[in-house]
Amino acid sequence: AALSRTREVDIKGGWKVGESVPYAALAKVFALIEATTKRIEKTSLLTSFLLLVIQRSAKSDTNSLLQTVYLCINRLCPDYVGIELGIGESLLLKAISESTGRSLSVVKNELKKEGDLGLVAMHSKNSQKTLFKPKPLTVPFVFKNLEEIATSAGHASQNKKVSIITKLLAACQGEEAKYIVRSLEGKLRIGNAERTVLVAIAHAAVLAEQERGITPSLAGFTHAERSSASANKRSSKEKLAEKLEKAAEIIKSVYSELPSYDLVIPALLDVGVDRLKERCKLTPGVPLKPMLAKPTKAIGEVLDRFENKKFTCEYKYDGERAQVHKLEDGTIGVFSRNSEDMSKKYPDLMEQLPRCVKETAKSFVFDSEAVAIDKATGKLMPFQELSRRKRKDVKVEDIQVRVCLFAFDLLYLNGESLLQRPFSERRALLKEHFQEVPGEFSFAKASDCETVEEIQAFLEESIKDGCEGLMVKMLETESSYYEPSRRSINWLKVYWHGQPGLNVVDKLVAQVKKDYLAGIGDSLDLVVVGAYYGKGKRTNVYGAFLLACYDADGEEYQTICKIGTGFSEEALQSHYDTLKPLETMKPRGDIKVGGAKPDVWFEPKVVWEVLTADLSLSPVYTAAQGLVDGRGISLRFPRFIRIRDDKSADDATGPEQIAEMYGRQVLAQSKGGKKKGGG
C-alpha cells in the first residue's frame, strides 16, 4: 500500500528515469510520513520512495540517493564535517515576509497562533497570488542552496542567507515551503529517526536488486504446478523478509563503524548490501559512534552480570570523551562523543599527542577521556574546568588548564580494525604501541578485581583520586568486542552519587556506600524546554525550569519534571542569560507538553545533567508515557549537577532508559520489601 501511495505521488510529479528527483515528490512523501504515527508505515513509505530514487537514477548517479537521504535526516554532510542547519526564527520570518509580500507583523502573529514556522511559510505561500508557475524545485537544487546557506559566514552572510531563502521560497509550491523552512530551522518534525532512514535505505537497496529480476507469469501452468509455484512464492516471501531484516542489520552495523553516507551510499549502490561490509570499514579520519555503558545500582549487580567471566574495572574519569585518529599521512584528529572535530578546542592536545605515540603506530584510532589537570600538582580537576574552554579558535598561549588524555581502548592499528578482538588484546596493543607522558598521556587506571570487596575498595580509591566512579568491562571472548554506538551491557558503570565538589576524603568514603546505593544508579541528561518566572528577589530571572527527555524514534521531547531548588543567584542569572535568546512564543511542535504550564518556552537546545532521588508515575508529565503505564514518569526532587555542553538536545536521555530506570527501582523496592512512589 505504501508503495502504491508513493508511486501515486511520483506519477503526479511526472518524474522520469535519468531526471533529477523532484523536490515536490519528496515533500509529498514527507507529508505522508508525517501523517502516520506507525513506525512500520513510516519505514515502508520511505523505503518505496528511496526505491524509486534508485530506479530512476542513471547508473553512475550516486548523488540522487545521497542527497535525498541527507534531506530526510536534515543534514548536509557527515557529523564530523560540522556544517549544520539551524537558522534563527527572525531571519526566517524576514525571508517569509519578503518572499510572500506579507507584512512582518502579520507573519509573526500567525506564528503565535500556529507555533510552527513551516506551516506559516506554507500558508503564506499558498495565500499569495502568482502570475507564473515557478520552475519546479529539484532535490539537487534545494540541497545546493541549503549548503550555501549553511556555509556562508562573515559580515554580509545574514543578508545573503535571507536572499537565498527568499528565492527558494518564491519557487515553492504545495507543501514544499513547509519542509524547506523546517529544514532550515534544523528540525523536519516528521518523526523520521535516523534508524528508520537506515532501515529504509537497506530495504530499498534489497528491493531494487530484487526488482531487477523478472517474476514469471503463472498463466498456462497446470493446477499442481501453480500450487507448487505459489508455495514457492510463499517461501520466497519469507526469504525476502529475512533478507530485508539482515540487510537492515548490515547497514546499521556498517554505519555505526563508518558514519558517513558520503562513503556508505556510493559503496552500497556499487556492490550491494551483501558485500557492503567488505567495502565499508572503520577508517581513520571518520569518527565512529562510541560505545556506551549501562548504569548499575550496586556492585552486586556487576557480579550477577559478569559471573564466572573475566572482567576489569577502570577509573571512570570525569572529563570529555576524545576519540583520537591518526591517518597514514600523519594527520591527527581528535573527535568528541558527538563526532565533532575538537582539534580547534584542543590545540595543546594536538601538540602533545605525538609524544605518546611510539614509532610502531603508523595509523590508529584510540578511545580516551580528556581530563583537566592542575598544572602545579598534577591532580585531576572536575569536568567544569574543561567545559569553560571555547570550542573553537583556542590559542595555546591563552590556555590556563592543562589537559591529560587517559586512554582506555584501541580500535584500529596500522591498517587493521580491532573492533572484533577481545578487549584484553586491544588493551595489550594499546600499551605496546603508546607510552605514558606524565601530565599529558596515561593509560586508564585499571584493576582486574574479582570480589565485591575489591571492587568496593577500587571505587573508593577512584573517588579519592577525583574520578566519577568505575567502568567495569568484559575482558575476554566475543562479549568484550567493541560495540560502536551501543549502550552495551558489557560495559557497566558504577557511580558514586555524592555532593560534587566535596573532597573531605573520610566523609566521602563513608558516604560512598550509602549514596550510590540510594540513588537510581545514574544521572540523566535533560533538555531545558521551558521556565517559570521567579518570585521575590528572583522576578527578573527564571526561578524554575521545565525539563524534558528526548525520544529519538518519535523525534519528540517529552516533559519530565520542574526543577527549581539548589540554584545560586549567580547560576540563575547565568541560566537566564543563556536561555533568554532561546525563548519561543509557543511550545515547539515536537514538545509533548502534557499538563506542564511554564511561563515561557524555549527552543530545545540546552542540556543539563540532573540527579534524582527517585522516579514516580505522573499524570502531568509525558516522559516514557505508555512504556510502563498510561501515565508518564517524573523525577522526584531533581538536583542540577552541571551543564552538558558536550551534548546536543538529541543526545538527551531517552524514554526507554527512563522506563528501564523506573523498572529497576520498582524491582529494588519489591526486593527490599518496601513500596514508595507510584503517586
Judged by the rule CB under 6 A, the positions of this chain that interact with ligand ATP are 290, 292-293, 314-317, 321, 337, 369, 408, 444, 471, 493
Between 447 and 578, CB nearer to ligand ATP: 447
Residue 412 C-beta: closest distance to ligand ATP, Å: 17
Look up 316 and say whether it is catalytic.
yes
Between 267 and 405, CB nearer to ligand ATP: 405
Residue 127 C-beta: closest distance to ligand ATP, Å: 46
The residue among 585, 506, 549, 569 whose CA lies nearest residue 659 is: 549
Between 29 and 444, CB nearer to ligand ATP: 444
On the 0-12 / 13-18 / 19+ scale of CB atoms within 10 A, 91 is: middle
Residue 335 C-beta: closest distance to ligand ATP, Å: 12
CA distance 627 to 660: 9
Cell for 329? 599521512
The residue among 56, 46, 51, 48 whose CA lies nearest residue 21 is: 56
Q: At what angle do helices 176-185 and 117-126 cross, to 10 degrees?
A: 150
Q: What is the DSSP string of 507-537?
A: HHHHHHHHHHHHS-SS-EEEEEEEEEE--GG
User: CA angle, 298 as apex, 295 and 300 as ends, to 5°?
Assistant: 115
Between 28 and 321, CB nearer to ligand ATP: 321
Between 49 and 434, CB nearer to ligand ATP: 434
CA distance 262 to 77: 7
Between 383 and 601, CB nearer to ligand ATP: 383
CA distance 480 to 428: 14
In SS3 terms, 577-643 reads as HHHHHHEECCCCCCEECCCCCCCEEECCCCEEEEECCEEEEECCCCCCCCCCCCCEEEEECCEEEEE
Between 382 and 589, CB nearer to ligand ATP: 382
Pairing of strands 292-295, 487-495: parallel
Residue 325 C-beta: closest distance to ligand ATP, Å: 16
Residue 594 C-beta: closest distance to ligand ATP, Å: 25
The residue among 530, 523, 544, 518 whose CA lies nearest residue 622 is: 530
Between 493 and 588, CB nearer to ligand ATP: 493
Residue 453 C-beta: closest distance to ligand ATP, Å: 21
CA distance 417 to 420: 8
Cell for 77? 554532510
Between 176 and 483, CB nearer to ligand ATP: 483
Amino acid sitting at position 391: R
**3-class SS shares of the chain: helix, strand, coil, % to 5:** 45, 20, 40
Q: What is the DSSP string of 247-292?
A: HHHHHHHHHHHS--HHHHHHHHHHH-STTHHHH----TTSPPPPPE
> Coil, strand or helix: which one is 84?
coil
Q: Which residue has the cell 577509573?
A: 315
551 DSSP β-pair partners: 556
Residue 388 C-beta: closest distance to ligand ATP, Å: 17
The residue among 657, 655, 663 whose CA lies nearest residue 551 is: 655
Residue 314 C-beta: closest distance to ligand ATP, Å: 4
Taking each continuous run of H as one helix and of E as one strand, the counts in the chain are: 22, 21
Between 118 and 290, CB nearer to ligand ATP: 290
Which one of 316, 345, 473, 562 is the catalytic residue? 316
Between 150 and 372, CB nearer to ligand ATP: 372
CA distance 632 to 625: 4
CB distance 380 to 463 below 8 Å: no
Long-range Cβ pairs for the range 245-252 (8 Å, 24+): 246/273, 247/202, 247/203, 247/205, 247/206, 247/273, 248/198, 248/199, 248/202, 248/203, 250/202, 250/274, 250/276, 250/277, 251/198, 251/199, 251/201, 251/202, 251/276, 252/195, 252/198, 252/199, 252/202
Residue 471 C-beta: closest distance to ligand ATP, Å: 4
> Coil, strand or helix: which one is 39?
helix
Residue 368 C-beta: closest distance to ligand ATP, Å: 8
Determine the straight-line distance between the first and last CA of the chain, rounded to whole angstroms: 44
Residue 169 C-beta: closest distance to ligand ATP, Å: 39
CA distance 339 to 255: 13
8 to 15, 40, 651: CA distances (angstroms):
11, 19, 37
Between 188 and 380, CB nearer to ligand ATP: 380
Between 295 and 598, CB nearer to ligand ATP: 295
Residue 382 C-beta: closest distance to ligand ATP, Å: 13
**Alpha helices (H) along 356-495:** 384-387, 423-433, 452-464
Cell for 353? 599527542
Residue 63 C-beta: closest distance to ligand ATP, Å: 35
Those residues whose C-beta lies under 8 Å from the C-beta of residue 493, and which sit 6 or more positions away, are 293, 294, 295, 296, 316, 469, 470, 471, 472, 522
Residues assigned a catalytic role: 316
